[in-house]
């Protein structure tokens, strides 16, 4: 009579094959346990320990140091030190970063009168835009110098500037250069489109705080115009003619009276522009 005992069919009356198979299984299990205990007790192994992450490693029963502790006598903290990642390069930095050296040199040597809120005088702004080879300032705008002069007169007299021209005639570049030279910041931009609303220009609300606290200063989310008036810098309005007329009309009080009304606030519902605020539209 045959039965399924051990690893295969054997005779019931014969126990020798079954004992041999059982002994083999016990030997394999013991070998696996021994290898695992040796590995986790810290026995050096090229295949198991060489790729461990840097950090604290255990030692063997014989007091043998781990590879990290004994490698060339170096300190573990030195080995674990991570090399700093290189600074990520920007594809197109803003003008205040691209020409930071030129702006710093112009500001250092500029001793001409400056309008309120301006970082550079109109003469230094003109030099920055049109260039000066003797001072190491490159030319950035290729056009008639009178265009730059008239634009600076408009900005210096606290009037908004509107740049009109065919596509590709450096309107956005000129507005960026003016904002970088006058305010030191050219990234405050409103992108006009048919979907642009007043909340994209003036201010919006954090609706979670609005529901919890009501219309408070903490719940208010400043828009580019609000930020520019508060900090006294230039805000750039790209493609303003693509916005609906009622959106364009919302700028009238800010440009003429230099004030922004926030009727939702009970206290301080008016924001008055700081010196240096202006709008450059294209």
Q: Is 243 within the bounds of a domain?
A: yes
Q: Would residue 173 be called left, alpha or beta, if left means φ above 0 and alpha means ψ between -120 and 50 degrees?
A: alpha
Q: Is 200 within the bounds of a domain?
A: yes
Question: Which of the residue ranges 7-16, 21-30, 84-93, 163-172 would you say has the lowest mean pLDDT?
Answer: 7-16
Nearest CA-CA partner of 186 in 200, 199, 172, 196? 172
Is the same domain home to 209 and 174? no
Residue ending a domain, choose from 184, 209, 239: 184
Q: Is 259 within the bounds of a domain?
A: yes
pLDDT attached to residue 85: 52
pLDDT attached to residue 90: 82
Is the same domain home to 192 and 154? no
Mean pLDDT of 85-96: 79
Residue ranges making up the domain that contains 176: 97-184
Buried-exposed string 39-70: b where 16+ CB fall within 10 A, e elsewhere: eeebbeeeeeeeeeeeeebeeeeeeeebebee
Residue ending a domain, choose from 128, 149, 184: 184
Mean pLDDT of 23-35: 61
- Evaluate whether 139 touches 148 at the Cβ level (below 8 Å): no
Strand pairing category for 189-191 and 234-238: parallel
Is the same domain home to 103 and 120? yes
Is the same domain home to 204 and 240? yes
pLDDT attached to residue 102: 96
Provide the token pair at 240: 């303003």
With cut-offs at 50, 70 and 90, classify the pLDDT of residue 60.
very low
pLDDT attached to residue 27: 63
Q: Which of 1-5, 90-94, 223-227 has the highest mean pLDDT?
A: 223-227
Is the same domain home to 111 and 161? yes
Domain total of the chain: 2
pLDDT attached to residue 56: 44
Mean pLDDT of 245-257: 89
Is the same domain home to 180 and 229? no
Half-sphere exposure of 103 (CA within 13 A, CB side): 19
Q: Is the pLDDT of residue 6 over 70?
A: no
Q: Is the pLDDT of residue 276 over 80?
A: yes
With cut-offs at 50, 70 and 90, classify the pLDDT of residue 75.
low
Q: Is the pLDDT of residue 106 over 50?
A: yes
Which is higher by pLDDT, 160 or 10? 160
> What length does the chain have?
282
Mean pLDDT of 238-260: 91
Which is higher by pLDDT, 43 or 200? 200
Q: Is the pLDDT of residue 188 over 70?
A: yes
Mean pLDDT of 160-168: 92
Is the same domain home to 195 and 280? yes
Is the same domain home to 172 and 193? no
Mean pLDDT of 212-218: 92
Q: Is 92 within the bounds of a domain?
A: no
Is the same domain home to 240 and 204? yes
Q: Is 197 within the bounds of a domain?
A: yes
Q: Is 275 within the bounds of a domain?
A: yes
The C-alpha atoms of residue 87 and residue 266 are separated, in whole angstroms, by: 46
What is Dmax (Cα atoms) for the chain?
115
Q: Residue 2 forms beta bridges with which residues?
A: 11
> How much of the chain exceeds pLDDT 70, in percent?
69
Mean pLDDT of 23-40: 57
Residue ending a domain, choose from 124, 154, 184: 184
Burial of 9 per CB tally in 10 Å (0-12, 13-18, 19+): exposed
Is the same domain home to 103 and 141? yes
pLDDT attached to residue 31: 61
- List the CATH number of the domain containing 217: 3.40.50.300
Q: Is the pLDDT of residue 37 over 60?
A: no
Is the same domain home to 177 and 235? no
Mean pLDDT of 172-198: 94
Is the same domain home to 208 and 264? yes
Q: Is 163 within the bounds of a domain?
A: yes
Q: Is 128 within the bounds of a domain?
A: yes
The C-alpha atoms of residue 198 and residue 224 are separated, in whole angstroms, by: 11
Per-residue pLDDT tens over the stretch 137-148: 999 999 899 999
Which is higher by pLDDT, 215 or 81? 215
Q: Is the pLDDT of residue 42 over 70?
A: no
């Amino acid at each position: 009579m045959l039965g399924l005992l051990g690893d295969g069919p054997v005779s019931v009356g014969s126990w020798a094959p079954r004992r041999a198979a059982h002994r083999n299984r016990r030997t394999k299990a013991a070998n696996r346990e021994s290898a695992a205990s040796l590995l986790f007790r810290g026995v050096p192994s090229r295949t198991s320990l060489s790729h461990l992450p840097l950090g604290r490693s255990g030692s063997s029963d014989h007091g043998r140091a781990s590879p990290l502790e004994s490698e060339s006598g170096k300190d573990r903290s030195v080995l674990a030190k991570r090399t700093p990642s290189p600074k990520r390069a920007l594809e197109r930095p803003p003008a205040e970063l691209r020409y930071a050296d030129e702006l710093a040199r112009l500001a250092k040597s500029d001793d001409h009168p400056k309008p309120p809120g301006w970082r550079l005088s109109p003469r230094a702004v003109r030099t920055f835009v049109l260039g000066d080879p003797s001072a190491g300032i490159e030319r950035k705008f290729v056009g008639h110098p009178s265009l730059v002069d008239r634009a600076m007169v408009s900005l210096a007299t606290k009037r908004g500037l509107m740049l009109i021209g065919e596509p590709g005639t450096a309107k956005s570049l000129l507005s960026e250069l003016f904002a970088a030279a006058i305010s030191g910041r050219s990234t405050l931009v409103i992108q006009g489109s048919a979907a642009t609303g007043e909340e994209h220009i003036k201010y919006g609300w954090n609706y979670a705080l609005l529901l919890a606290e009501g219309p408070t200063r903490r719940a208010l989310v400043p828009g580019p115009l609000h930020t520019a008036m508060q900090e006294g810098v230039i805000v750039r309005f790209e493609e303003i003619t693509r916005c609906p007329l009622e959106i364009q009309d919302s700028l009238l009080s800010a440009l003429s009276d230099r004030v922004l009304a926030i009727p939702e606030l009970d206290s301080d519902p008016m924001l008055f522009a700081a010196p240096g605020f202006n709008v450059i539209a294209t």
